[in-house]
Structure 1
Amino acid sequence: MTGQNKKITGILLTLLGGGFWGLSGACGQYLFEYKGATSEWLVPIRLLLAGYAMLAFFLIKDRKSTLSVWKTKKNAIDIIFYGLAGMMLCQYTYFATIENSNAGTATVIQYLSPVMIMAVVCFMEKKLPNIAELVAMACALLGVFLIATHGNINQMIISKEALFYGLNTAIAVVIYNLQPRNLMKQFSTPLLIAWAMVIGGTVLCIIFKPWIYSPIIDLEAVMALTAIILFGTIVSFCFYMQGVKLIGATHASMYASVEPVSAALLSFLWLKVSFEIVDFVGFALIILTIFILALASKGDILNAKIKQNV
């Protein structure tokens, strides 16, 4: 594959991965609005089915490597924490945000996580954020303010529950990205995702007992659930990770920001959610933070290379 073909393929895979993530959110909203589903029913089922499907693949492929995650006490504790505080919390709060608002809003608020990650890294490394990071933080805060209040500090446009769950989703994404660093040095990311889904899904099943709920299960519901599990979880992740390999994490993160765009468009066109211009301004400001931080990171890498060559 030539360099140009590799770049084009990477861009397409990343765009498809982000688009399928947006589709997953819209399908979740459809199940909530039209099939009587709840987050307490949907999330455990999604995590368990997707997790066991991925885990079965790894067990068939290489049983020894798949089980080696549990060989040391430290790794076992890390994967359990990752499954609970990262995967389980992230997935539950994300779909709870959708249930209390819509897929577009939930997905955009989730994209506050890069700014939060930046703040955590600055704190851990005991350094002040640079100008680009401060601008990104300001854009993110202003974006959330506009989405939540439409510019009027005395009113809340989205429910307090939606804002609460949305902000907790962003926090969970921070844990999801930063906590498993040690594990990712030893094991493949898809394998860790599979175990985390099984752990998170099992615990949620114990807590919420999804079998006591009675959503409408018809062909449309099965299709939506299949889209969430197959395309919104397994295929989307595989496409995105392959895109990262082909074009790098910096570019992939920018192209993957199609996720909130696709979620908002599907909410608007398919589920008839109404947005105002101020909502789109808020969406744009939050998505802009991804580009600011990605470009700033690329600039830091370039400067480091220049210094090495001097």
Structure 2
Amino acid sequence: MATTQQAMATGSRSASGLGFAALSAMSFGLSGALAKGLLDAGWTPGAAVAVRILVAAAVLVVPAALALRGRWGLLRPNAGLVLAYGLVAVAGCQLAYFNAVEHMQVGVALLIEYTAPVAVVGWLWLRHGQRPGPLTVVGGAVAAAGLVLVLDLVSGADLSALGVLWALGAMVGAATYFVLSAHEGNGLPPIVLAAAGLVLGATALLVAGAVGVVPMHVSAARVEYAGTEVAWWVPVLGLGVVTAALAYVTGIAASRRLGSRLASFAALLEVLFALVFAWLLLDELPRGIQFLGGALVLTGVVVVKLGEREVAPAPPVEPLV
């Protein structure tokens, strides 16, 4: 009976984790289409990222403070974790990606960033001895093949050495996000880790903008989506509330239920949602080969999920710092 109840609890936790992962992927997937409108209206990438993180931090600070009430002592021993999360997983990852797309095609940069699941599997294997099973390897390969089709890279793409380096930096940031998000032993509620990381990330970006490292320029011009113009603050709120605050909190919740390996593969769904939102908001209709790639990505995620059963239990994942 106890075994049956434990299996049901595990299944329920896994199902809720996949739900959180899908919601997080959908929220993150909206960011590209919303940001594209702002960039076309005269915003710089640094300004769009900074405002996005600032709005998200403002939304989460009060709920995070309430969640941490009476447990403020948890912040001091987790200072290194929060610092790495805010600077690397939040600010660093986003800045590296935007710098990458300045030097290369967006699809190529996104594909390089989404090799993060491979980095996560390698990290867990080398650092914690969690050797991936055959199904995990097969699922990863299938998902990678699907991404190539989704991003329409079969016709070839120009590569920039500098762009590749920036995209690899974004990949490191994404892998760090999954590994740090999955660590449950710190006692920090997901909303607290997200809020603290966003505050630190926003602070770092503002300092970088103040000293001129990151160009910052905003515009009050109206922003156009699919032939409809909206005020600039509409996509700004969407970026901050939906694609950052909601996305990071649900992403952490998903990682803690699924583990960093499966959560990183489930996050590949972000690419599919990004295509859908680009179609709806920017009139960029995906091609048939991209839909085929999407089916492969979904298949790969399912195979990776099955492969999780082959991995022997391992000690809780420690933070990178």
Using the size of structure 2 for normalisation, the TM-score is 0.71
Q: How many residues align?
A: 292
Cα distance per residue 1:52-93 (max 9 Å; x no partner): 3312322355454246402x4xx3233222221222212223
Selected match of 1:249 from 239, 258, 268: 258
Output the amino acid matched with 2:33: A
- Residue range with higher mean Cα deviation, 82-91 or 7-16: 7-16
**1:224 alignment partner in structure 2:** 235
Counterpart mapping for 1:190-209 below 5 A: 190-209=191-210
1:146–1:279: 8 Å Cα contact kept in structure 2? yes
Matched, 1:273 2:277: no
**1:82 alignment partner in structure 2:** 85
**2:50 alignment partner in structure 1:** 44
**1:30 alignment partner in structure 2:** 37
2:33–2:277: 8 Å Cα contact kept in structure 1? yes
Cα distance per residue 1:140-185 (max 9 Å; x no partner): 5545666788346xx4257666655444322211112224666752
Cα distance per residue 1:83-117 (max 9 Å; x no partner): 21222212223444566655x77666544222221
Matched, 1:150 2:159: no
Identity %: 20
Output the amino acid matched with 1:84: L
Structure 2 unmatched runs, 5+: 1-8, 223-229, 314-321
- What is the CA–CA distance in structure 2 between the aligned matches of 1:171 and 1:237, rounded to whole Å? 17
> 1:192: how far off?
1.2
- What is the CA–CA distance in structure 2 between the aligned matches of 1:225 and 1:171, rounded to whole Å? 26
Counterpart mapping for 1:65-144 below 5 A: 65-66=71-72, 68-70=74-76, 72=77, 75-96=78-99, 101-102=105-106, 110-125=113-128, 129-139=132-142, 142=145
Q: Cα 1:267–1:184, aligned 2, differ >3 Å: closer, same or farther?
A: farther
Cα distance per residue 1:278-308 (max 9 Å; x no partner): 5555555555443332220034469xxxxxx
Selected match of 1:53 from 43, 48, 59: 59
2:59–2:241: 8 Å Cα contact kept in structure 1? no
Cα distance per residue 1:19-52 (max 9 Å; x no partner): 22211222112222x3122221111222122123
Q: Cα 1:140–1:241, aligned 2, differ >3 Å: closer, same or farther?
A: closer
- What is the CA–CA distance in structure 2 between the aligned matches of 1:295 and 1:265, rounded to whole Å? 27
Name the SS of the counterpart of 2:75 in structure 1.
Answer: helix
- What is the CA–CA distance in structure 2 between the aligned matches of 1:255 and 1:90, rounded to whole Å? 18
Q: Cα 1:187–1:125, aligned 2, differ >3 Å: closer, same or farther?
A: closer
Q: Cα 1:66–1:7, aligned 2, differ >3 Å: closer, same or farther?
A: same
The answer to which structure has the higher helix fraction is 1
Cα distance per residue 1:192-217 (max 9 Å; x no partner): 11111111111111112479513345
Q: Cα 1:217–1:183, aligned 2, differ >3 Å: closer, same or farther?
A: farther
Using the size of structure 1 for normalisation, the TM-score is 0.73
